[in-house]
Each structure stands twice: as C-alpha cells, then as structure tokens.
Chains A and B, each alone.
Chain A
C-alpha cells in the first residue's frame, strides 16, 4: 500500500466534515486567503503549472478552462460543481463530499473569487442523500464563520453555494444536461455551441468542474503548482483518486500518483484477484469505458499514454473482472444500463442502445449469427461517431473493445457455448 499518496485525502475520516475548527486546524482556508492576496491571473498561472486536468472524465486542462472563463466579458458568472457521480464503479467524489466537503467548498470559493462569481451550485446525485446533508451542514458552517456568504473574510467578495439534488438520470452528469437540470428543466443535453462556458446556467457564463478537480485547488495554491505537478508524469500532474472494484482483494478509493501502472494498481494496491482466479479483463473508467485484456496492464496511468493506446481513464473507475465471468453476460449488464439511461433525444443513442440490447441478448441466448457481430460494430460506429452527446458516443465502448479483444467468446456463443458457464441457452432468457 506504499504506492498511494494523500495530497488531498490525508484528513479524510480524521476530521469532522462540517467542523470549521478542525478543517482550519489542518490548514483549511489558507489557500483561499492566499488566492485573495493574489491577482486572478496569478492564481490561474499556479493552476496551469500544476498540470491539473479535469477529473470528471474529459481531462480538459483546468488552468486553461479557468483562464477562458476569466476572459469572458459577461456577468454574472456561475460556478457549478458536478457531483452527479453516476458512472458505475465510481465512488470517489463521495469520499470528498462525505469527509472533506469544506475542501470542496474552499476550492469552489477560490474559483468564484477568481471569476468574481456570486453564486455556485453543487449538483449532487439523488442517490447520495446523506452526502447532500453533510455538504449542506458544511455550507452552513462556512457561512456562519464568514468563509462563504456575504463579505467573505471581511472583504467585499460575496459567494453563496446552493445544493441541487439530481433525480436519478445518468445523463445529468453530462455538463450541458446538468445545467439544464440545474435550471429546472428535464435533464437532456444541449446543442453545442454555444458552449456552457459562454452560455450556461440561465444563459450566463458558467464554469463546471468535477468535485475532485475543485478539491485539488486548495493544495495547489498552498503548495504550489510545480510541487503538485511533480507527483505525476510529464503530461498529467499530481494525483488521482481511483476506485478499485470487482474481483479484487482490496476494493475502495485510493489516491495514487499519475505514472503508476494498471498492474501496480491491481496487484500492489488492490491485492490481486481473490480465490486463485485469473484476471479476464479490466474495464477502465466505468461502464462507458473500454474493456482491456491482461496484456495491456503495464499501461501507465497518464492521460497521454492512455490516449496513445486508444484508452481513457474516465472518472477513475477500475473494474476488475476475473475468469468466472462471461464477456457476453457482462456486456448484457452494461447494455441494459445504457438502454435505461439514454435520454432518448437523438436517434443513434435512443435507437442504437435498443438495438445493442437486442443484439447482445441474442448472443446471451445463443440465437446470434456471425452477421450480428458486424451489426454490433455498425451500431457502435454510428453511436460513437454521430450521437448527440458523450453518453451515446461512449455507450458502445465496452461492446467494441470486448469484440476486439474477446471475439472468440462471442463466436462461441453463436455455437451456444459459454466458457464461463454463465449463459443459459435453454431458450429462456436469464436475468
């Protein structure tokens, strides 16, 4: 377990989440004071030096994003924290919401100070009711002690944060759908352009960042961007919260430096596969991520290296699947998820997911033909290349990667054979 770090997680579980005293006693709000003593440009420069990239999945350089937001000449500007942590296998934002909400609040307040924003929102998924309560208490405490609300720290700067509860739609994690939902509309993605940064909440410029992204900001301003960057690789600065789940000995959220390999994550931190089973594949970045075979485990956690192999880290979910599982059966589960979560707005996603479900079920039931593999690829292609938003674009990622690396298993299912003995070919659909 020595390969983990704790730049932001050091005090998780050690201080009371809504206690200003305890948070201040471990250096809380010092970064806000530092930011208030600097010009916005200086703070942005520090974030740029940190090489921090958005931790929600898109990995856009945070410093650049904030600089663009700063340069937009239209007010008021809004700050939204995306805490709609809906990607299956992802539960790292919950650690911050439940244990370090004041760190998030501090990070958002720094962003607000830089952009002179009067108002922020934390959009927390509806399935996290306890987290909503904890964050609400933390907001209240920060307001009572002058770290939030009017005239923060005796200055003329005022900033308030409101909690918005999601209502269960996965698509609301997509930034523009999240903004729609925050406005009170049904959560469906908007057409871009105009981009959220120019035309977001109520048509005003809006900065949307993930919980984890905001949480790194206090550290960066206190310790310096260069120090943060030094923990990572040349292209990906600092640490990342990863969520290990599946067939592993040690599951949970771990803070690790960029540059660590997937093998180290799984065997050194995760403790390997239990019960003497063999690793079959790893799904990287949640249900919308690719499934990769054992041979690729020496890939380093680094946005650039992953990209060069056609992979993405996504939100940081690492799901380990052992050989007791069937690739087709696994895919059925993923497909059902996206079929349920498509918002229905665009043809490739609405109809594509419906078709994928029918196709995967054919394999699971032993009714598929060789041609069905081609049809999955055809549907996958149109979804990936023509869907309206990221949901539809990434929904077939698991399909395309599993067919790429485990085509044998699909072919076996055409012949009514399931090597993991999971699929039932008796003609009865197994749920």
Chain B
C-alpha cells in the first residue's frame, strides 16, 4: 500500500493507483474529458491538473501514479485556475450551441462549463464550422464540436479493430478523420456506433429518424407497429434517471402505446424464431459436414465486419436474417394477412440498442415481402427522446404487456441481448431437438459475461460440439485469425459486435461503460430466469406460426422471407 495525502487528508491506496482514482476514494472528483474508465490513459485534454509538492509545473491526475509520501493538492488557487483555463481554451474553440445540440444535458463539456461557472470567456472565439458527415444511414460525424480527446479513435481502433477513424493534420487543423477524409459510408466503418458512446460531447451521434416515426404515427391510414429489442428493456430506464440495469419492460410497452403505436411487439419473438431456423441450419451443416464454423448473423456490425475484412468467411455466416429483419418480413406478410391489412399500410418501427441496425434495415435486399422489412430503426436514445418529448414520465406510468401474437416469447429470446445469449439459446434448443431428451439445467454459464472470448465443448449425444463466443470486434478478429491459421477449430461461433453484446450497443444510453454493461447483463438473465418458457422451441406461437404459415424450418417460405445472402464490401 502507498500512503499519500490529498488536500492534507491521508489516503492509503494500492501501488499503481493514479491521483485521479485516489482522489475519488476521498470523495474528490477531479474533472476529466479524455479519460474514459474502460480505455487507456491519454492525458491529452489536460483538464485534470493538480499540484503535487515538489513537482515541476502542474500534473495531470489521470496519468500520474501515486508514490509514498506524495502530497497532492487539488483545491489550490493555482490548480483551480489552471483547470478553468484549460476548460476556457476548449470552449473558445467550441461552437457552444448547446441548446440545439443532441447532447444537451448529456455533455461532459457542458457539465464542466456549468460546474466551473464560465460566465465569460477571456479568449478569442476560434471555433471552425466544418461540414457534417451525414453520408451513412447510421452515424453523423460533426467535427465542429469535436474536442479531440481521442476516445472515439481508441474504441474504433483498439476495441473494435476497425480503424475507420484516426488522427490527421496538426495544430489547429488536427482532427479525427477517416482515410483521406472520405465520407464515412466510403470507409471500413461497420456502423457499430461505439464511437458515439465514447464521445464526451456531440461530435458523433446516431442519425435520427424520429421525425419519420412521428409522421407515420400521425397518419390515420397507417397501421404502425413497433418491435423492441431484448437489450432495450434493461437500459431505457437509465435515460430517465433509474439505476443501471433497471428492468422497465412493462413501462416501456405502456410508453410506446401512449406514443400512439397500434401494436407493441417484442423482437424476442423473432429471436425465438431465429433459434429455430438457425438451429436447424446448424443441424443441417452437421449433417452435410459444414461449412464450419458457423457464425451467428444477428449482429449487423459483425456482418459488416465479415463482409469488409473477412469476405472469405461469408459462407460461414448463418444465412438467417437477424431477428429485427425476420420480424419486419413477417409483419408485412403473415401478420398483414392475419389482420387483413395491406402490407403497404403497415409501418414497422424497431427500437434497437444499435446504430448498425439502421444500416441493416436500409440494405437493398431486406425487402422480401415486396416492401421494406423494417421502415425505421430508432435507437434506445431516440426512443427516450420521443418519450421525453411527449411528457411521459417512465418512472410513474403503469406496466403493461406486449400485444399478441408477437408478444409471446421465451427466456431464450431475451438473452439475445447479452453476449453468449444466442449461443445459449441455440444450445437449449439444439440439444433437445437432437437428443429428444429434456435438458436438465438450462443455464450455460461458461458463455456468459464480459470476457472477450469464451469457449466450451458441449456433448450432444456423443458428438463433441466445439463452440466459442466473442464480443467486440477485436476479439472476433482474434478468433477468426486463429481459425484462419488453423490454430483453432470450432463448430459454432457467436459473435456480437459490441462489448458485452447488444446491452452494450452503440445506440444505448450515453454512459454505457463496462460497469453499467455488467448491471444490464445481470438484469437480462434475471428476466430470463423469471420467464415461464425458457426455450424457443417451446414457444407456442412459434409452433402456431409454422403450422399456419411457414410450414417447416428452412422451408420454402422461410428461405424466401427469413434468410439472406452477403456481399463483400470495401
């Protein structure tokens, strides 16, 4: 242990602790902007300045490790003034149009401007207005607001191993740029949106489609249905000040009805359907000898990643559409018929924890009913904005249930929201289908949690099925490279593009860090544990759907509506 003092208060901390962490322990929050708790220390922004007795100049608390006998002063005139000067320098080159900024009230820079009470800037306003990059269907990049902290670059390069953005130029022109400053849609960007979560300000955010939804809701001709992804129910509450991981399924359904949606459905239903189709695809591959490994295809960021970086593995991707797209295709066929509504009068909205889903729904081939499978994708953040705009207090409204028929779901469907969930859901079904025996214990704990790569071998009737689960694209890359080199062999691999799976998706509330991801994961499994049905093949509505419409898994209709194909990108 290291003994030091902070503002004359003695503190004892472990070796390797930074001043920033040590100060937190005695209740002193030192301001930070480039610091991110899940990332490496960058010390670029220099706002966390403190005084240390005997040190030359001021030190950055984020990067300075404590030592025995250190005397830190965070609250001297010099330290306070220095931090304020740094903030003023950043603000001088920031547009400060907070009132019309997407991150209004959720901005780290704005928070400090309020805390430091910046009344008037002593400096020349030197900000530049640069054109916004709105080329992609998922993400908007507005460099005018960028404070050059580098958090987006680290997540794109290190955590996702995509490298769509990096640093370019220098001095005043220093900026976060794509290769040759190409628009985002001409780069290797997979639209995961992790950069938008990492950004402390409003420089990168989801492309909003709220207006299209309001328009459809206001159109009496349109039958507007909404589906909500598994991960949204354990994160939406945070947007309304609830604890991370709060389960708000019932309140969310009520809020969606209050917004005017004609039917509120659950993507968990088509997650169950995915398990039936994908499970059967896997069994077929087992029968036909491959190709192995089979990769899951529910995560559109991951699909984009394969198409961009590993096109030679496209045949390994399951041909199943994602649950979102399966839902859309069924809404405009089976559901339309059942309801007697013309599919062109059905408007499908998805609420997703994801920005890549926007791109996925816009893909040309996603129109197997003859119409767009999904018309608009909203992120969790966008739904929260609609709810706030409508004056609905999520904390005070009653809970209600999803509508039939696509509201009857299983616990297997809900765990799609966490890394390992699709694998676990598939195993719960495949095991029973193959062995014709009841699976005693339904929980596959080896594949749960935030670990980057999880592996297991499952014995299914004498066959040793080798599985792996990866979350975040750097881990996926690591795994695929090992398969490529022949170092590893698997039968079935689940990949989720975002750290922790969809609960950590790029469309989730600002403040999604690993600590919060863990809380959401716990909640997802809590929801699963409390479900009366926990296996997809036991969902009665799925059985009914096959009886009434699809006939059999991998059948003609399934092939047409529920499966897709891939193409090399880039």
Contacts and interface: CB of A to CB of B under 8 A. Distances in A.
Contacts of A186: 167
B82 interface: yes
B170 A343 contact: yes
Contacts of A353: 171
A229 B49 CA distance: 41
Interface of A is mostly: helix
B122 A378 contact: yes
A392 B295 CA distance: 50
A358 interface: yes
Interface stretch (B89-97, B449-457, B553-561): B89-97
A343 B168 CA distance: 10
Contacts of B170: 169, 171, 341-344
A354 interface: yes
Given A342-B170, A344-B148, A355 B44 contact: no
Interface in B30-51: 41-47, 49
A386 B57 contact: yes
A386 B44 contact: no
B89 A344 contact: no
Contacts of A352: 89
A185 B175 CA distance: 16
Q: Give the interface centre of B85, B126, B171 by most chain A CB atoms within 10 Å.
A: B171
Contacts of A344: 148, 167, 169-175
A328 to B, nearest CB: 17
Interface string A328-370: 0000000000011111111110111111001100000000000
A384 interface: yes
Given A188-B167, A191-B41, A348 B46 contact: yes
A146 B302 CA distance: 55
A382 interface: yes
Given A191-B42, A385-B58, A351 B93 contact: yes
A375 interface: yes
A351 B92 contact: yes
A386 B174 CA distance: 19
Contacts of A350: 148, 171-172, 174
B181 to A, nearest CB: 15
Contacts of B85: 378-379, 381-382
Interface string B160-195: 000000010111111100000000000000000000
B280 interface: no
A387 interface: yes
Interface in A98-121: none
Contacts of A359: 124
B86 interface: yes
Q: Give the interface centre of A358, A384, A387 by most chain B CB atoms within 10 Å.
A: A358
A355 B92 contact: yes
Given A344-B173, A345-B174, A348-B89, A388 B124 contact: no
Given A191-B42, A354-B126, A358-B126, A386 B171 contact: no
Contact of B46 (A169, A346, A355): A346
Interface residues of A, number: 34
A352 B122 CA distance: 12
Nearest to B91: A351
A85 to B, nearest CB: 19
A252 B173 CA distance: 35
Given A191-B63, A351-B92, A382 B174 contact: no
Given A347-B44, A387-B46, A355 B123 contact: yes
Interface in B98-144: 122-124, 126
A379 B88 CA distance: 10
A188 B42 CA distance: 12
Nearest to A387: B46
A353 B42 CA distance: 21
Interface in A172-194: 186, 188, 191
Contact of A358 (B46, B49, B57, B124): B124
A160 B239 CA distance: 60
A375 B122 contact: yes
A340 B170 CA distance: 8
A343 B174 contact: yes
B89 A382 contact: yes
Contacts of A375: 122-123
Contact of B171 (A341, A348, A379, A381): A341
A343 B42 contact: no
Given A354-B126, A355-B124, A347 B46 contact: yes
Interface in A196-241: none
Contacts of A355: 89, 92, 123-124, 126
Interface of B: 41-47, 49, 57-58, 60, 63, 82, 85-86, 89-90, 92-93, 122-124, 126, 148, 167, 169-175
Given A350-B174, A378-B122, A379-B89, 17 more contacts: A191-B43, A342-B172, A344-B167, A345-B174, A346-B43, A346-B45, A347-B45, A347-B46, A347-B47, A354-B171, A355-B123, A358-B126, A384-B57, A385-B49, A385-B58, A386-B58, A388-B44
- Shortest beta-carbon contacts, A-B, top 6: A344-B174, A385-B57, A351-B89, A342-B171, A358-B124, A382-B85
11 contacts: A339-B172, A344-B173, A346-B43, A351-B90, A358-B126, A359-B124, A381-B85, A382-B89, A385-B49, A386-B58, A388-B46
Interface of A: 169, 171, 186, 188, 191, 339-348, 350-355, 358-359, 375, 378-379, 381-382, 384-388, 393
